[in-house]
Copies of this chain bind each other. A is one copy, B any other.
Amino acid sequence: MSGTSSSACRHDSWWRAYLARRLELRSTRDRRASFRGMECSRSQHRIFLHRKRRAALRCLMRSLLPDTPSVAVIGAGAVGAFYGSMLQRYGLPVAYMSATMAKTKYLEVRSPWASYTLPVQCFASSQQMEPADLVIVSIKALPDLDPFALVSPVLKKNGILLLLQNGINQEERYAAHFRRSALRPVILGGLAFTCINRISAKRIDHIDYGMVKIGALHTEQNPLARQVAELFQNAGIQSEFVPKLRRARYEKLLWNAAYNTLSVLLQADTDPIVSNAQTADLSLRIMREIQAVAAAENIKLSNATLRDMLDRTKRMRPYKTSMLLDYEAGRPMEIDIILGEPIRMARKRKIEVPHLQMAHDLLQFYDRRSAINKETHSKKKS
């Protein structure tokens, strides 16, 4: 396979043209049409239409990810700032867009992996930033927020967009948006399994875990996802390539839908939830509804996977979920992307998801009250 790849690499300029077109033209009909106008021999053409396509694609991916890719972190909350700073420490040029960090000149990171202080380049708006090779989106997935306006200014043509976000259908949403644009980013998804707190604008504490799973929206771009996962590994981040991103998304959604949700409803970290038989069973019943939604699109999450999710949570150290942290700090919670989106998918497919719906309605109520309290509080201040 590697031999094929290296021999294929000899036709470098032709390939680049071919593969750039290939990324631009998604439908087969478009692709066929495009080749008609390209000067290439029949045999050359056949190479790409058969097995060697993969190797060729890998070659493209290499060409898309430079040795020292520039990185932009959009929405440098605790997660974005931490992973961004790890990449920066590895030697990559990283720029951060974050309202909180806008005036920050130095970032202090404490982590079981490494503790360090770094000078950082922060911006309040992505308009002021240069386009980057790798754009990491780590904003909260909140329904009122238009992420595309934030991301577009820092995207290079055919650049890489890595969505380090919760929930499901995020990559699809970005893909739908950029389908009509000339930017055509390669869309990757990242799943962060971590516990990181922002202590202040200048300080991030990474408490535990930290694995990032990376996959591609279109499996043909898997080689690139693998490369980005390797880049993360090289930068000292626990990282893993996932060949089936959507499946991985569903697996994470199982956990988030159950434990993020219950942690807020019960005002508790994971430990008492999973050690109480009734609420542990409740978490399984919530997961079963996500399982049913996934099954409707042929992603089979076995009952053993669900049980394993519960068992692993039992073995974990007591963990305060991101949603509970948000709730306690009076910040909006990611209810829509974790519960609202699977509920909409279930509705389309006529699957009953009473637990998800009930949790959603209760949490929305909490969320609205927090917002009202905040408003009243800020009015009193002014």
- Chain B residues lying within 8 Å of A199, measured Cβ to Cβ, are none
The smallest C-beta distance from A12 to any residue of chain B, in angstroms, reads 57
Within 8 Å by CB of A362, from B266, B285, B354, B366, lies B266
Interface of chain A, main secondary structure: helix
| Contacts of A261-277 to chain B: CB distance below 8 A | 265-266, 268, 272-273, 276
Interface assignment of A282: CB less than 8 Å from any CB of chain B: yes
What 1/0 flags go to A334-365 for Cβ under 8 Å of B? 00000000000000000000110111111011
Interface assignment of A233: CB less than 8 Å from any CB of chain B: no
- Chain B residues lying within 8 Å of A369, measured Cβ to Cβ, are 268, 272
Rounded to whole angstroms, the CA-CA distance of A361 and B355 in the bound complex is 12
Within 8 Å by CB of A365, from B279, B361, B364, lies B279
The smallest C-beta distance from A262 to any residue of chain B, in angstroms, reads 8
Interface assignment of A368: CB less than 8 Å from any CB of chain B: yes
Within 8 Å by CB of A354, from B266, B272, B285, B361, lies B285
Interface assignment of A281: CB less than 8 Å from any CB of chain B: yes
Interface assignment of A278: CB less than 8 Å from any CB of chain B: yes
Within 8 Å by CB of A358, from B272, B282, B365, lies B282
Closest chain B residue to A276, Cβ basis: B365
| Contacts of A146-204 to chain B: CB distance below 8 A | none
Q: Does B361 lie within 8 Å of A279, measured CB to CB?
A: yes
Q: Does A278 lie within 8 Å of B365, measured CB to CB?
A: yes
- Chain B residues lying within 8 Å of A357, measured Cβ to Cβ, are 282, 285
Q: Please give the residue numbers on chain A whose beta carbons come within 8 Å of chain B beta carbons, in ascending order.
A: 265-266, 268, 272-273, 276, 278-279, 281-282, 285, 354-355, 357-362, 364-366, 368-369
Knowing that A266-B365, A272-B365, A279-B361 touch, tell me 12 more A-B residue pairs with CB under 8 angstroms.
A266-B362, A272-B369, A273-B365, A276-B365, A278-B364, A279-B365, A282-B357, A282-B358, A282-B362, A354-B354, A354-B355, A355-B358
